[in-house]
Structure 1
């Protein structure tokens, strides 16, 4: 994926093929305005490109990071708020888009009504949990809670069979952890231990607030933490999850049921609505063996306490404010945010998860047109042509593998802006006065939507992101790049105010080129042009790739982010390869433009300089120390600073453009530079 987080975004889009002059733009040049002239580009290009803006814009108390992504998000949250207010006041007919949006907003913003209800919306679910008396009723309760979005211990769902992309298959993945990643349970540094103790306190508080005696709640919180820690120990590390073959284990359903009899999986799937399952692709069988043991060995009172906590936590934002405050006070340890976001922003985030594409249908009518969609489709083709030329010129790859790579490249499907076909939300029930129930209904809707794919043809037109999302992705099973409208936004600037150099760096390199390169990174390269996990490389070519990829692993593993936290070069390898590939492809495509050939400066910056600054604009971000620690432990992406400085060290054109010489901090000897694509 392009970004380290998925956020709402907008579509005041920049132009891909327009070169403006200083006079045309009529406002300060964004690239020149963001510069930190006290930093040398040859020593720290991220600071040079973005440091001026970061110094003038401290991180707001409600944020964990602050930069261009958040600016886009906040600009478009206001647009979505307007859509919701208009829908709420329209009193539209039941079943219409406006009714669902307006009633969701109304119920969620009714803070007085929510306070008055207290925990009453959860009462029936507490009774279900209290009624658990054996492992069979435990697993049935887990399935019902998973159905409404109170995630428990299993992570299952329907998606394409990695080895047969025309088939929708049931998958089972490791899960069960509340904290973002296994290392949180296993690290022994003071920061990690503080987070663990605070997590235990959160469990205690929620259980006590729900009526459990304080001493019992504290005991059960310790038991829950011990249970999750035991499961964390069998979780595979992030880098190990990048091997698609090792994480593909197709089992006949009865064999999985026998392997983990205490999980009562046949009944679990039936409760979710999947009654006929022949095979299940299990990512990490050892997790299900360990969970089976824990279900059999852990006292039911501990399981009941865990489910009670997970239920409250899942809906904390829709319960009286005291619950949301408790959840925020814990999560700020992971993010560094000092204040909660205002209610309307929190509601829009929940609404995005509940029915974001429904919002998107109204959103694109107002903020994204067909002309902009066409503009970015053309830019995709310019990047694709650049990649084709690069593959043809490779010296380390055989002709036979090159031809297959070119076939795959040509087959990559592009989805730009918004879907051609929208999802059907007619079965989603939204009430006017029950926020918790609306969230439960939405979660159950998405479970049904997913389960109903089983046994049906793959819908290759489907989008997994909304148009307003500030993100993008490559899907190896569909061999497609998906580029929502929001990812191209430069806040505060119109199309005609942005020159090609900025566009080719900001959109062409960091987004389009990045996503296309994912089809050929350490993981994506293992899928063929139809999206099947299938080897199409010669053994020698595969070895050459691994040797070259090892360079980028070593480079990024040497970067210290904060304290003793270093980037995990293996876990971030795919994103690092995609960043480097995107920069090279964007540069190749940009050199064909009129702006590059004319070589006229804008705001004292040459076209070549503006290209690299345009790419860096995509990573304009200041971050809290807590956010950086969490990102280093959990994210497949390197922090923003290293997504600029790291790949630039491997780009010869960067050295020439900014006169980088031996002795400069950004300098890498030619023999150490990464040369893949």
Structure 2
């Protein structure tokens, strides 16, 4: 997928693309070796497709998603430790197990050195529940005492600045919020992509979005549960007047929510390109002692920032002055406990999950501790783990085949550009230049991160987490003033996902997604093109979606369209948004076509590109397999890639905050492709039929 803040070099998206093959690994890169040869038979069915998961009693033209996935939907249950379950989850569980083996081996090797020792220490400390129980709240007490000692707003600004981190979790959250007052990321400058800039984004909320504080109905119930959770954490910490503190914190966060930008405003790249000099903050956002804040954050000498939501930054700064110091101290104390809960005794971790997992997302059961430990180690030492993961689980043949698919897909996308009747030669030339400069990296980075300065102890779970957070923050700050590292990865090889980096015109495709059901070396190529091929096409298309199209071939935020061409492109986007607005997964809540537009454009263009690329690779599609023609197999591969289930609470959150439509509607992208209609004999009068003029053609 992609995210509007992918301009921060982080696009949540599943796909890959490039106009050239990835270069050979640098000397410090782990050369992947196949631990086992490619499977002699596909992982799913006889040709790489789950025919048993279909419901052939349904008519494709009336319910294509159900036709492709009805059997699976009836038989599969969401595991109790999950808020949703889908194709990504299946691969995610496999990656968890593979990574667990790496961590346990490192933990058992007490003679290990370097990164292996760090991995083992990290895993051991987090898994040491008895040791964590014995320490109680002691590891956190110095921080709580320092918060209680804050005497004035100047000291408050220093405390807030010292807490600034590169913690805007765009890869693992449905949105990009941070509970810290502000979040920061360092990435190429939107306006000058040959230099780094620090991006400052709105924060301060403990719940996922402003709507959780301002809307009624379910949100009002969640606010009551949130206040109870806040009070519970204070009680567990032995801090008096928890209920009163909770009300102050909720009132403060509600005031913050009122000044926050909405999801749609935040998704507007043009509105985010706000360059502020460091001297501008006192004038444009009075109320916070910015000199003290930036000095404590290690940014006192940084001359310029990109302020993503300027009104929110100004509003939050004003609240620092207007709200009582006691409210801010309570707020800091709560978030310190909440942030540390996973590394504190069981009562804290269970309370944290009861609110964040069950109340917010509807997940009944917390995941096993080892699974949480894998996530923790990946967050802290992901490249060190990834280097071992790649050597064990990613083969050279898989990499080569994926790169060959990429080449076909880029060629096919170029052909689609050439065939656009509505686009002028001038704009086509710029689009072609952008495609020609697109880079892809498959499997793993060329250079691995150096964790030599990061200390990991076998008896200090919370300290490990805090040192890792500070290490990552300082690593980001160290980029400022240096040349752009165009080989940096923003995902781990063991992550089941992929991303587009528009400021670098680059795509990244981790090793872990190159597995069934997305990619299977023993599977029918039509299924592979419908699944991973369309994912690759999707990611290529992100360079040309409603946000990606704003960046030129150098990665600069610049208009390269003629006025008439841009008008046509925006009209197509509006039509696609209107199409998705009509999808209503819940009686009172519909898909937001504008919020999900970038992903939907990438899906339409990506699937169309995959269809074209398959035809390039297979001019003769051959005979049907088990009665399915090659076009049918390709479209069914796409539909099964998006099968999934989601608990209602998680679905409601996603509809408000996620830039992706739910999977069942992404599968219905086929409605916009002319080739789908004859493939399944879809006729007028059937529920999914669109007249040719209603089929949205984007790229």
More moved, 216-225 vs 83-92? 216-225
Distance 1:119 1:552, change over 3 A: same
Name 1:383's counterpart in structure 2. Answer: 409
- Choose from 198, 202, 205 the match for 1:170: 198
Q: Hey, what's the Cα distance between the residues in 2 that align with 1:342 and 1:6?
A: 27
Verify: 1:120 aligned to 2:138, yes or no: yes
Name 1:130's counterpart in structure 2. Answer: 148
Q: Hey, what's the Cα distance between the residues in 1 that align with 2:187 and 2:630?
A: 44
Tell me the secondary structure at the aligned position of residue 464 of structure 2.
helix
- Choose from 285, 300, 308 the match for 2:325: 300
CA contact (8 A) 1:6 1:469 kept: no
- Structure 2: gaps spanning 5 or more residues: 4-10, 15-30, 168-177
Name 1:361's counterpart in structure 2. Answer: 387
Name 2:18's counterpart in structure 1. Answer: none
- Choose from 637, 654, 662 the match for 2:676: 654
- Choose from 509, 529, 537 the match for 2:561: 537
CA contact (8 A) 1:119 1:319 kept: yes
CA contact (8 A) 2:272 2:307 kept: yes
More moved, 621-630 vs 442-451? 621-630
Deviations 1:356-397 (A, max 9, x none): 111101100100123322221121111111111111110111
Shift of 1:336: 1.9
Name 2:579's counterpart in structure 1. Answer: 555
Name 1:270's counterpart in structure 2. Answer: 295
TM-score, normalised relative to structure 1: 0.94
Tell me the secondary structure at the aligned position of residue 661 of structure 1.
coil
Distance 1:13 1:537, change over 3 A: farther
Name 1:99's counterpart in structure 2. Answer: 117
Tell me the secondary structure at the aligned position of residue 414 of structure 1.
strand
Distance 1:5 1:530, change over 3 A: closer
Shift of 1:648: 1.3
Shift of 1:5: 7.4
CA contact (8 A) 2:157 2:289 kept: yes
Compare the two structures and name the one with the higher helix fraction. Answer: 1
- State how many pairs are aligned: 662
Name 2:60's counterpart in structure 1. Answer: 41
Q: Hey, what's the Cα distance between the residues in 2 that align with 1:166 and 1:466?
A: 24
Tell me the secondary structure at the aligned position of residue 620 of structure 2.
helix
Distance 1:46 1:492, change over 3 A: closer
Verify: 1:288 aligned to 2:307, yes or no: no
Name 2:422's counterpart in structure 1. Answer: 396
Tell me the secondary structure at the aligned position of residue 302 of structure 2.
coil
CA contact (8 A) 1:272 1:447 kept: no
CA contact (8 A) 1:13 1:488 kept: no
Name 1:144's counterpart in structure 2. Answer: 162
- Choose from 363, 374, 378 the match for 1:337: 363
- Choose from 144, 160, 165 the match for 2:188: 160
Name 1:670's counterpart in structure 2. Answer: 692
Verify: 1:204 aligned to 2:204, yes or no: no
Tell me the secondary structure at the aligned position of residue 496 of structure 2.
coil
CA contact (8 A) 1:2 1:514 kept: no
Shift of 1:462: 0.4
- Choose from 641, 645, 651 the match for 1:618: 641
Q: Hey, what's the Cα distance between the residues in 2 that align with 1:28 and 1:403?
A: 40
Shift of 1:60: 1.4
**Superposition RMSD on alpha carbons, in Å?**
2.4
Shift of 1:269: 2.4
Tell me the secondary structure at the aligned position of residue 171 of structure 1.
strand
CA contact (8 A) 1:68 1:620 kept: yes
Shift of 1:546: 0.8
CA contact (8 A) 2:261 2:311 kept: no
Name 2:17's counterpart in structure 1. Answer: none
Name 2:467's counterpart in structure 1. Answer: 441
CA contact (8 A) 1:148 1:441 kept: no
Q: Hey, what's the Cα distance between the residues in 2 that align with 1:639 and 1:514?
A: 16
CA contact (8 A) 2:264 2:594 kept: yes
More moved, 383-392 vs 660-669? 660-669
- Choose from 513, 516, 525 the match for 2:540: 516
Distance 1:66 1:25, change over 3 A: closer
Shift of 1:617: 2.3
Shift of 1:212: 2.0
- Choose from 409, 414, 418 the match for 2:435: 409
Deviations 1:418-447 (A, max 9, x none): 001111111111001010000001100100
CA contact (8 A) 2:455 2:464 kept: yes
- Structure 1: gaps spanning 5 or more residues: none
Deviations 1:440-459 (A, max 9, x none): 01100100011111111110
Name 2:19's counterpart in structure 1. Answer: none
Q: Hey, what's the Cα distance between the residues in 2 that align with 1:120 and 1:519?
A: 49
Tell me the secondary structure at the aligned position of residue 156 of structure 1.
strand
Tell me the secondary structure at the aligned position of residue 628 of structure 1.
helix
Tell me the secondary structure at the aligned position of residue 562 of structure 1.
coil
Shift of 1:45: 1.3
Q: Hey, what's the Cα distance between the residues in 2 that align with 1:134 and 1:26?
A: 67
CA contact (8 A) 1:13 1:494 kept: no
- Choose from 270, 283, 304 the match for 1:258: 283
Distance 1:459 1:12, change over 3 A: closer
Verify: 1:577 aligned to 2:577, yes or no: no
More moved, 72-81 vs 253-262? 253-262
Kindly report which structure 2 residues correspond to 1:621-632, keeping only aligned pairs within 5 A, or say none.
621-632=644-655
Deviations 1:2-40 (A, max 9, x none): 699799xxx9999xxx99999x99858533122112322
Shift of 1:260: 2.8
Name 1:639's counterpart in structure 2. Answer: 662
CA contact (8 A) 1:552 1:569 kept: yes
CA contact (8 A) 1:36 1:47 kept: yes
